Amino acid sequence: MTDRPIRVVLAKLGLDGHDRGIRVVARVLRDAGMEVIYTGLWQTARHVARAVADEDADTVGISLLSGAHLTLVPDLIDALRAEGVGHVPVVIGGIVPDGDVPVLEKMGVARVLGPGTTLERIVGSFRELAAASRAGQRR
Amino acid sequence: MATFDTISGREIKPFYTAGDLPNPNGSDGAPGVPGVPGAFPFTRGIHADMYRGRLWTMRQFAGFGSAEDTNQRFRFLLDKGQTGLSVAFDMPTLMGLDSDDPRARGEVGRLGVAIDCAADMQRLFDSIDLARVSTSMTINAPAPILMAFYLVAAERQGIAWDKLGGTLQNDTLKEFHAQNEFVFPPEPSVRLAVDVIEFCARHAPRWHPVSISGYHIREAGSTAGQELAFTLIDGIEYVERALQRGLKIDDFAPRLSFFFNAHNEFFEEIAKFRAARRIWARRMRDHYGAKNEASWRLRFHAQTAGCSLQAQQPGVNLIRVAYQAMAAVLGGCQSLHTNSMDETLSLPTEESVTLALRTQQVLAHETGVTSTADPLGGSYYVEALTDELEKEAETYFARIAEMGGVVRCVESGYFRREIASAAARYQREVESRKRVIVGVNDFIEPPQPIPTHKADPSVEPGQIERLRTLKAQRDPAKVAAALDRIRASAAGSQNLMPAFIDAARLEVTVGEMMSALADVLGRYKQTAGWW
Amino acid sequence: MKDPASQADRLRALAERFRAGDRRALAQLISLTDDGADHSAEIRSLLDTLAAGKRSALKVGITGSAGAGKSTLAAALIRHRRAAGRSVALLACDPASPITGGALLGDRIRIEYDPADQGVFVRSIATRGAAGGLPPNADAIVRLLEAFGYDEVLIETVGAGQDQLAIRGVADVVVLVVTPSAGDEVQWQKAGLLEIADVIAVNKSDLPGADATAASLREMLDISGGDAGRQPVVKITAATGQGVDELWGMVEIARRTRSRNTP
């Protein structure tokens, strides 16, 4: 396999417009050599899934500070499956109470990066997940 | 390694002397002396007696769930000694969507209270006398409509509009710079804001129709100087537009209010508040020819910096908040919100919100910082910083004017780019550990979970149900006529407030009114300045 | 290490799904095409079979400097073409960092479409050190989009490259997007941008100076026009869609002119 750059779709799901965090993450992933496709604010689950499919992304990162994750994340997982990209690992960042992390993981979220996650860990997570996702795709 | 520049990147000298003092020519008093509190240019405060006369308003932002849930939290806070109310609306309301809109899914009553119509607003203030309590409403794109709901709720309580005291945030310009809760393009957004300013000047003279906000600009990562400059230039833009409508400066300037961030950098923050007052007073008197002293006085609400709160060791946030609150008080704020220690994790619990309020009470009653006005006045350091910040703001004003003014700079993404580059610089400093953040990049401890607020999952279906019932009970012909009137007013140049108020009386919803407006004004998709 | 047999199998399977109209197969084939040289021969021969018997699409290049409003125009054109019942694909090319190879691809911020709409396809591409702001296999990617059946293919790329001819080689018609700003016309000419364009769109025409910019462009083009006549200059406001209809008319005329002039 060629060492083509990791492709990541980053999106704000739902109505909250707080994008300071996701923009920092976008810059950091770019500086780590990834191709970051940022879809902007106010995305619905179906918009994100469509972007993941058409952009052939290796992973998708969602920022959500609205507290609506328990409703919107299952919508996203369903939408990804409907687009044929249910295998693409989903990373959730933003404000997620500790108690909700296992719930999200059970829904199929690959990783939850809550407040206070270091940028190093964020980059590492996207790298690992992309590698695993590509290996899975090749099999 | 220790750092000797501020979090905004301002270099600090080892010590300051009389040589660093501003006003060497003594324009405001004797050389190096910045005048007295309560007198032009109000660097030292808008009142001579400051907090001896009256403490600041302790105003905690609150809202979640249904109107009834928030009404209960309001009464709880009033019982605990809070002196003003501040409404947090949920995301759908902030974006002008009804609770039953598909885009609102999962967000109804989540981060604030869900208000769809005047009846909801009435329930929100049930058994709270609107003539006696002052209310602040944090809402922007749909602000005129929520104001209309409030006016109708007051009417239904039998209270005349000229008795209402409070503040509507109604500052859409900063949404484009920072918070992204805009709906319409910049030009019509400013028009709507000025409609409220004009309407209140005539019908609700005790109300503050706009709270020109730097808070969110700072939260997005700006420096203190950018926060100061961009907020004041936004304020100047509203003033210009109101003057273009034919209003007289002294008819509305006394009711303009401001909202700043109280961040970690203690002295620089105090200097920022002092500089804001001085710049504003000079503009109002010398540039706009305001005669009424109240027009010269910059009044502001402060909130401690949400972005400074950390998820690690949340108890430490109490300490950060206390210092930030002290900076706001030493800087002469008129009202203050202190964040709760758990706000990076969820909405605050009752325990944490009580502690946040108690922080203000200790400051007011135990520390003695309220005994004299502007206790830091004359400090070589603080006066020098005040002067530097003023100069920095003036430089920005000139640059923005050169680039065609505020609206052009919004469209070109100038504000966003400036803020983003400051945010990136700060982020690098934290990552490289040039800046120590306790519990984050130093003094780290294993995580200890704390109890957090649990959202009630029954709120959303309940609100949707109630809204559907309400919609079904209205006379569709009357609703359609009210919406047509809004479209017609929007297409013309008349003030939209009367059309909103009439529609609110008929229980036309915020989502319906916003869509009618969007039919005429268009929706804005911001594109410039993302990176 | 990749096993050549399994690679061939994979391509065959993708081709099968591609023929059946599976958008995911298109997306994956674009990745393989964009990937690089090691299997480009296989992909190109595959392309010949995929493209066989397919109508050709109208391929429109959109170029101009950063901030001119290329992606806002692309978004407006997508709306315009969908409203006309045409299916449309957009290839949005942005430069990658020469140091890290990473890229921020933000065109989707500006582009809005119904996620259920199968008549739109948007793909962001990072161009790594390629001349002309296009990826080395841009022509193959465009052929894939064409073979998949899109009526129109838009290719958006920054104009400030050493070799602007790249876009000429891929697109039937090239639209240069400029914004009103006094004095820049000479720069555009020096940069050779005016030569490669078939149509020039003066975007943000609500800004002061739009008329002057359009007039001075026309004047400049009249001088250098030659036999083919000068290229049309259209004032648009991509954000509101104003002038986009007229622009598209010019694009169609330019396509007919060019197909007459090129063998």
- First-to-last alpha carbon distance for chain B, in angstroms, is 30
Contact C104 B528 (CB under 8 A): no
> Which residues on chain A are in Cβ contact (under 8 Å) with C101?
5, 33
Show the tokens assigned to B77: 């806070």
Contact C105 A26 (CB under 8 A): no
d(CA B13, CA B409): 34
Q: Does B522 touch chain C (CB under 8 A)?
A: yes
Work out the burial of residue C33: count CB atoms within 10 Å of its CB; fewer than 13 is exposed, 13-18 middle, 19 or more buried: buried
Distance from CA of C32 to the nearest CA of A (A): 10
At B254, the amino acid letter reads: P
**Full DSSP string of B81-107:** T--SEEEEBPHHHHTT--TTSGGGTTT
Is pLDDT at C1 greater than 90 in this prediction? no
Instruction: Collect all residues with Cβ–Cβ distance below 8 Å to B17 and sequence separation of at least 6.
Output: B380
Contact A115 B310 (CB under 8 A): yes
Contact C27 A53 (CB under 8 A): yes
Contact B527 C239 (CB under 8 A): yes
Closest residue on chain C to B530 (Cα): C106
Structural element, H or E, at residue C119: none
> Which residues on chain C are in Cβ contact (under 8 Å) with A47?
115
- First-to-last alpha carbon distance for chain A, in angstroms, is 12
Taking only the tens place, the pLDDT of each residue in A15-49 is 988 888 898 899 999 999 999 999 988 999 999 99
Distance from CA of C109 to the nearest CA of B (A): 7
Distance from CA of A30 to the nearest CA of B (A): 12
> Which residues on chain B are in Cβ contact (under 8 Å) with C240?
522
How does A80-119 read in b/e, with b if 16+ C-beta sit within 10 Å? beebbbeebbbbbbbbbbeebeebbeebbbbbbbbbbbeb
> Which residues on chain C are in Cβ contact (under 8 Å) with A56?
27-28, 30-31
d(CA A125, CA A102): 17
Contact A2 C38 (CB under 8 A): yes
Show the tokens assigned to C225: 């026009």
Distance from CA of A18 to the nearest CA of B (A): 6
Phi, psi at C154, each rounded to 5°: -100, 135
Which of B179, B307, B347 lies nearest to residue A17, judging by beta carbons?
A: B179
Helix, strand, coil percent values for chain B (each to nearest 5): 50, 10, 40
Show the tokens assigned to B420: 């983003």
Distance from CA of C51 to the nearest CA of A (A): 20
Q: Does A21 touch chain B (CB under 8 A)?
A: no
Instruction: Collect all residues with Cβ–Cβ distance below 8 Å to B1 and sequence separation of at least 6.
Output: B434
Three-state DSSP class for C98?
coil
Test mutation, C78, C97, C108, C110, chain B, max B CBs within 10 A: C110
| Rg from Cα positions in chain B | 23
Phi, psi at A90, each rounded to 5°: -105, 130
Closest residue on chain C to B412 (Cα): C67
Q: Does B531 touch chain C (CB under 8 A)?
A: yes
Provide the number of CB pairs (under 8 Å) joining chain A to chain C: 82
CB B418 within 8 A of CB B303: no
How does B223-239 read in b/e, with b if 16+ C-beta sit within 10 Å? bbbbbbbbbbbbbbbbb
Q: Does C72 touch chain B (CB under 8 A)?
A: yes
d(CA C236, CA C244): 6
Which of B412, B525, B531 lies nearest to residue C104, judging by beta carbons?
A: B531
Closest residue on chain B to C71 (Cα): B527
CB B225 within 8 A of CB B217: no
Which of B412, B522, B527 lies nearest to residue C109, judging by beta carbons?
A: B527
Mean pLDDT for chain C overall: 86
d(CA B216, CA B261): 8
At A21, the amino acid letter reads: G
Query: What's the Cα-to-Cα distance from B446 to each of A120, B312, B413, B449, rounded to whole Å?
Result: 18, 9, 41, 10
In 3D space, the residue among B104, B150, B145 whose CA is nearest the CA of residue B130 turns out to be B150
At B183, the amino acid letter reads: V
pTM score, two decimals? 0.91
Alpha helices, DSSP H, located in A1-139: 20-31, 45-54, 69-82, 101-107, 119-138
Closest residue on chain C to A23 (Cα): C104
Distance from CA of C236 to the nearest CA of A (A): 25
Q: Residue A10's pLDDT is what?
A: 97
Which of C104, C110, C240 lies nearest to residue B527, judging by beta carbons?
A: C110
Q: Does B432 touch chain A (CB under 8 A)?
A: no
Distance from CA of B269 to the nearest CA of A (A): 21
Q: How many CB atoms lie within 10 A of CB B190?
A: 22
Q: CA B291, B295, B300: angle at the middle one, nearest 5? A: 165
At B239, the amino acid letter reads: V
> Which residues on chain C are in Cβ contact (under 8 Å) with B528?
67
- First-to-last alpha carbon distance for chain C, in angstroms, is 44
- Taking a contact as any Cβ pair under 8 Å apart, which residues of chain C between 228 and 247 contact chain B? 239-240
pLDDT class for C263, splitting at 50, 70, 90?
very low
Contact B94 A19 (CB under 8 A): no
How does A45-65 read in b/e, with b if 16+ C-beta sit within 10 Å? bbbbbbbbbbbbbbbbbbbbb
> Which residues on chain A are in Cβ contact (under 8 Å) with B219?
20
In 3D space, the residue among B148, B149, B151, B146 whose CA is nearest the CA of residue B161 turns out to be B151
CB B348 within 8 A of CB B309: no
What is the mean pLDDT of each successive set of 10 residues along chain B, which is 531 residues long? 83 92 57 80 96 92 91 90 89 97 94 96 96 94 98 97 97 95 95 98 97 97 98 98 96 97 98 97 97 98 96 94 98 96 86 94 97 95 95 97 94 92 89 91 87 84 96 97 98 96 98 97 76 53
Q: Does A15 touch chain B (CB under 8 A)?
A: yes
Taking only the tens place, the pLDDT of each residue in C45-68 is 888 888 887 788 999 999 988 888
Chains that touch A (3 or more CB pairs under 8 A): B, C
Distance from CA of C63 to the nearest CA of B (A): 17
Contact B531 C67 (CB under 8 A): no
**Highest mean predicted confidence (pLDDT) among B274-283, C90-99, C121-130, C212-221:** B274-283
CB B198 within 8 A of CB B245: yes
> Which residues on chain B are in Cβ contact (under 8 Å) with C109?
525, 527, 530
d(CA C169, CA B408): 37
- Taking a contact as any Cβ pair under 8 Å apart, which residues of chain B between 172 and 211 contact chain A? 175, 179-181
**Which single residue is written with the structure tokens 């493209």?**
C51
Helix, strand, coil percent values for chain C (each to nearest 5): 50, 20, 35
d(CA B183, CA B350): 33
- Taking a contact as any Cβ pair under 8 Å apart, which residues of chain C between 112 and 141 contact chain A? 115-116, 121-124, 126
Distance from CA of C226 to the nearest CA of B (A): 37
Strand order in the sheet with B61-62: B61-62, B85-88, B135-138, B166-168, B207-208
Q: Residue B26's pLDDT is what?
A: 46
Q: Does B95 touch chain A (CB under 8 A)?
A: yes
d(CA B375, CA B331): 9
Is pLDDT at C129 greater than 90 in this prediction? no
d(CA B494, CA B303): 35
Q: Does C114 touch chain B (CB under 8 A)?
A: no
d(CA B233, CA B227): 10
Test mutation, A10, A12, A13, A15, chain B, max B CBs within 10 A: A15
Tens-binned pLDDT, residue by residue, of chain A (139 aa): 447 899 999 999 999 888 888 988 999 999 999 999 999 889 999 999 999 999 999 999 999 988 899 999 999 999 999 999 999 999 999 988 888 999 999 999 999 998 878 889 999 999 999 999 988 775 4
For B373, half-sphere exposure in the C-beta direction (CA atoms, 13 angstrom radius) is 21
Closest residue on chain B to C106 (Cα): B530
Is pLDDT at C5 greater than 80 in this prediction? no
Contact C110 B530 (CB under 8 A): no
All structural domains of chain A, each given as residue ranges with its CATH number in brackets, are 7-134 (3.40.50.280)
**Which single residue is written with the structure tokens 């462009």?**
C217
Omega cis (within 30) before B41:
yes
Mode of pairing for the β-strands spanning B207-208 and B210-213: unpaired
**Which single residue is written with the structure tokens 């027009």?**
B295
Which of C106, C110, C239 lies nearest to residue B531, judging by beta carbons?
A: C106
d(CA B485, CA B470): 21
Distance from CA of B84 to the nearest CA of C (A): 40
d(CA C130, CA B379): 59
**Higher pLDDT residue, C220 or C251?**
C251
Q: Does A37 touch chain B (CB under 8 A)?
A: no
When pLDDT is averaged across residues C157-185 and rounded to a whole number, the result is 78
d(CA B203, CA B164): 10
Q: Does C67 touch chain B (CB under 8 A)?
A: yes
Q: Does B132 touch chain C (CB under 8 A)?
A: no
* Inter-axis angle of helices B510-521 and B497-505, nearest 10: 150
Is pLDDT at C240 greater than 90 in this prediction? no
Q: Does C20 touch chain A (CB under 8 A)?
A: no
Is pLDDT at C2 greater than 70 in this prediction? no
In 3D space, the residue among B243, B215, B241 whose CA is nearest the CA of residue B230 turns out to be B215
CB B455 within 8 A of CB B348: no
